[in-house]
Amino acid sequence: MLALIIFGLFFALALAGIPLMVSLLATTVGIVTFMGMQYPLDSVFLAFIGGVEPFILIAVPLFVFTGELLAQGGVGKRIVNFANVLFGWLPGGLGIVTVVSCLLFGGVSGSAIADTAAIGALVIPAMLAKGYTRGFAAALVAVAGTLALLMPLSIPFLVYAFISGVSMRTLSMAGLIPAIISALALIAICMWHGKKTGVDKGGKPARLSEIYRAAVSAGPALLMPVFIIGGIWSGYFTPTEAAAVAVVYGLFVSMVVYRDLSIKDIPNLLLRAFMTSATVMLVIGATGALAWLITAEGVAQQLADWVGSVAHVKWVFLIMLNVALVLLGIFIEPLPALLMAAPLFLPLAMAFKMDLVHMGVIMTANLAIALYTPPVGGTLFVAAKLARASISEITSNLWIMMAATFSVVLLITYVPELTAWLPRLIASLG
225 in a structural domain: yes
Helix (H, G, I), strand (E, B) or coil at 377: coil
- The number of distinct structural domains making up the chain is 1
In Å, the largest CA–CA distance within the chain is 74
53 in a structural domain: yes
29 in a structural domain: no
| Cα–Cα distance for residue pair 369/107, rounded to 1 Å | 18
**Dihedral pair phi/psi, residue 332, rounded to 5°:** -130, 140
The sign of the dihedral angle between the CA atoms of 54, 5, 338, 419 is positive
2 in a structural domain: no
Domain extent, residue 348, equals 42-429
Length of the chain in terms of residues written? 430
Instruction: List C-alpha distances in Å: 16 to 13, 48, 340.
Output: 5, 23, 19
30 in a structural domain: no
Over the Cα atoms of the chain, what is R_g? 22
Residue 325 corresponds to which amino acid? Answer: L
Tens-level pLDDT at each residue, the chain (430 residues): 676 777 778 778 876 777 777 888 888 888 888 877 878 878 888 888 877 776 667 777 877 787 777 777 677 778 888 888 888 888 888 899 899 988 888 877 777 877 888 788 888 888 888 888 999 999 999 999 999 889 887 888 888 888 888 888 788 889 899 999 999 999 999 999 988 888 877 778 878 888 888 888 888 877 877 777 777 777 677 767 777 888 888 888 888 888 888 888 888 888 888 887 787 778 778 877 877 787 777 765 666 566 667 767 788 888 888 887 877 776 666 777 787 778 778 878 887 888 999 999 999 998 888 888 876 667 887 888 888 888 788 888 899 999 999 999 999 999 999 998 888 887 777 5
31 in a structural domain: no
8 in a structural domain: no
Question: Taking Cα atoms as reference points, which of 350, 381, 352 lies closest to residue 120?
Answer: 381
Q: What is the pLDDT of residue 306?
A: 67
| Cα–Cα distance for residue pair 143/254, rounded to 1 Å | 27
| Cα–Cα distance for residue pair 266/397, rounded to 1 Å | 38
**pLDDT one-digit tens code per residue, 390-415:** 878 888 889 999 999 999 999 999 99
**pLDDT one-digit tens code per residue, 377-392:** 678 878 888 888 887 8
Following DSSP, what letter does each residue of 315-382 receive, concatenated?
Answer: HHHHHHHHHHHHHHHHHS-HHHHHHHHHHHHHHHHHHTT--HHHHHHHHHHHHHHHTT-TT--HHHHH
36 in a structural domain: no
With both helix axes pointing from N to C terminus, report the angle between 112-130 and 59-72 in degrees, rounded to the nearest 10: 20
